[in-house]
Structure 1
Amino acid sequence: MSAAGLVPALRLAESAGLHDLLAQRLTVPSPNAATKATSVVGGMLAGADSIDDLDLLRHGGMGRLFGGVRAPSTLGTFLRSFTHGHVQQLDAVGGRLLAGLADRVPGLVAGGDAAEETAFIDVDDTIREVHGYAKQGAAYGYSRVRGLNIQLATVSTPLSAPVIARARLRKGNTASAAGAGRLLAQAIGTARASGVKGPILCRADSAYYGWAFVGTAIRAKTWFSVTARMTPSVSAAITGIDQEAWTPIKYPNAIWEETEQRWISDAEVAEVAFVAFTGRRKAEHVACRLVVRRVKRLQALAGDGTEQGELFASYRHHAFITNSTLDIVEADQAHRDHAIVEQVIAELKDGALAHLPSGKYAANAAWVALAVIAFNIARATAVAANMAKVRWATLRKRIINIPARIAATGRRLILHLPIRWPWAEQWDTLHALATGPPTPATT
């Protein structure tokens, strides 16, 4: 077999409750639905990005190690039997499985159980391009690419790589912020169920600048940090900032000045009190902090190639609103780290979401939900193998897609793995955790 790492990875998922959750909650009208869903997840873990690719589960000796593996045509029929309600069931299974994985692999959300440690929930969306006219729901969205929209929320801490709390497939021309409140509320609940006890900072870009996102964060008693749109009120607030209020920050190419004991940088931050969403009813006005980062624009060179002098510096301003108690520099740094969600999107597009394989919308939505489950299992597998922050593609190369020879002795099966393999110790660590007893609870 060529994917021996599927053995401990799926054992880890099973010990976290994957099969039980699918059997209890998934009511799709298809025999052995839990087994079929697990087959799709297993194929995704090994690198499948289409229904035909799921045939990799049937090669070599895979049938001796895994029971119930179905043909790609059967799995395609299974996915096409989903309705919107069944996709929501899968979404709920994914949230509960994440909590189970966090309990089984304590480092999955490392530091989240500390009352003083901040966890981050990042919400964003992306367009997955599709081709052909048979794709239900495909349309031209903000990227001017014909495709389907995927919205997701990730959970991370300063000590752990992000995992996906919630995700959903939407029509290609759906506005980015549509449904953001409900998605964020579900993600916060999943984060708490996964062991996050400290403050949560909910981050998003300007597409989510609105009451739906911010109001949900306030009702859940969490912090928010959302890029502000340059509305007249925001522009007026920035204009009113005193020139002495700007503080230089450590930024790319910044220089530490020993004499003055400060960073010399073209990037500076300042903040001002602000009331957001004043166009809504008074109960939905949000008193918060408007934090502004400004970066000096590059000056054009003169005709002789020298730098032109400047009478007045010209700046680009980047503003966001927040209710956090972080100091101004920490708040700016934390907000810029929202870009971590792009890493998750890139990993998904490099793996299971390289394609949306079906013409039926609900089947593609189910595929996305199963891809989220596979991503979180892969992340837990990496943490259990002491490779906490490797990307999914790296995990496949080093741990999952490892060839092995199957031997039998008595009633036991033995996997003979490659000798002098650089990651043998990590594989053994993963296998021991996946097949051993649960980690004892601390008191």
Structure 2
Amino acid sequence: MAFEGLQERLQGTLKKMKGKGKVTEQDVKEMMREVRLALLEADVNFKVVKKFIADVKERAVGQDVLDSLTPGQQVIKVVNEELTKLMGGEQSKLRAAQKPPTVVMMVGLQGAGKTTTVGKLANYLRKEHNRKPLLAAADIYRPAAIDQLQTLGKQLDMPVFSLGDQVSPVEIAKQAVKQAKEDHQDYVIIDTAGRLHVDQELMDELQQIKEAVSPDETLLVVDAMTGQDAVNVAESFNNQLDLTGVVLTKLDGDTRGGAAISVKAVTDTPIKFAGIGEKSDALEPFHPERMASRILGMGDVMTLIEKAQTNVDEDRAKELEKKMRTNDLTFDDFLEQLGQVKEMGPLDELLEMMPGAGKMKGMKNIQVDDKQLAHIEAIVRSMTKAERDNPSLLNASRKRRIAKGSGTTVPEVNRLLKQFDEMKKMMKQMSGQQKGKGKKKGGMNMPFM
């Protein structure tokens, strides 16, 4: 996981600071040494690290400890706030034209995931904001770039504007905007050409497109896995195109995460979105405060709740809550909830969003295999309807049949039955506690596993 080293260093230093009534200069100096090393290891720009450490020291040294916090937590609070400020402070939303269509010009180097991001952004605008985007294929140089965008358009059921690869990208962009106005589309998202490196010919063409269509947003797509190089690319593009935002792709991959911290500080260009997977819906608005919390191992409750709200049917959740109270949950209910959990994303990513998950015993080295969900699903689907409704019917011969049908073993079937029984008891207890305390208005049930 990105920034794992930073989390470990911070927590290690915290233990040494227990019991102190005031944060001393030596305490902060010791902690900042660890933070500095962790940030540099994460490939954060060294000038950014230097300023960040100085800012934290200035705020933390000599501060009286708040009544409710330990000295270590006070420093963590300062680090969290400064980290949030470093990445932009608050969410930077997409601009919208006063009169549609809003024109978004996507730029970047070849291989950063620009064309795929065009599709993801269009899907996000339609799904989250009920917008009608038009995708414009203005990359006439990369083989199959137009075909790739048209394929994405078909998959998403969205219109793609193309004039082939014999018309200039400037003319394609102009005609795409004209077409969007005629068809009453809300957005035009222009997929421009990239290169394997920054060159003047590329920049000249992008500047011409920008002059021709006056985009409301000029977004740079950069691969977070390239670390410091991503920041250098952002700086080059920003100097010549005056970017309005950055989209970081592959932020879920094996990345040290330095780009996420450095880009805003170096270019003064906000990160507007983060790519967190391959699927068409794997694009999220970038929230600096949430990212800072995740970096420091504090979780990301808001994103977790939003994912749950998107994938959980509220009426169905109320039905399930009633079943929890009466202990009437069935394996069909279990399957339904399992599907909702899968829709929320990979389990290891969901666990990272849980506050304190990194400190829980056994969580640090846990490897969550999403294939296990497929095994569980196979076992349940190998049961008859009567067995799913009433697991007590499952005798030895039925268990053997289920194991054979699901490609698993009888011990695996037994383990699932035991876990399901324990889960029902736990859910009934939780439901009883909720009822006793009173539920908040507008509350929701999280999917169970």
Q: TM-score range by the shorter chain?
A: under 0.3
With normalisation by structure 2, the TM-score equals: 0.23
Larger RCO: 1 or 2 (CA < 8 Å, sep 6+) = 1
More helix by share: 2
The structure that is strand-richer by fraction is: 1
TM-score, normalization by structure 1 = 0.23
Larger Rg: 2
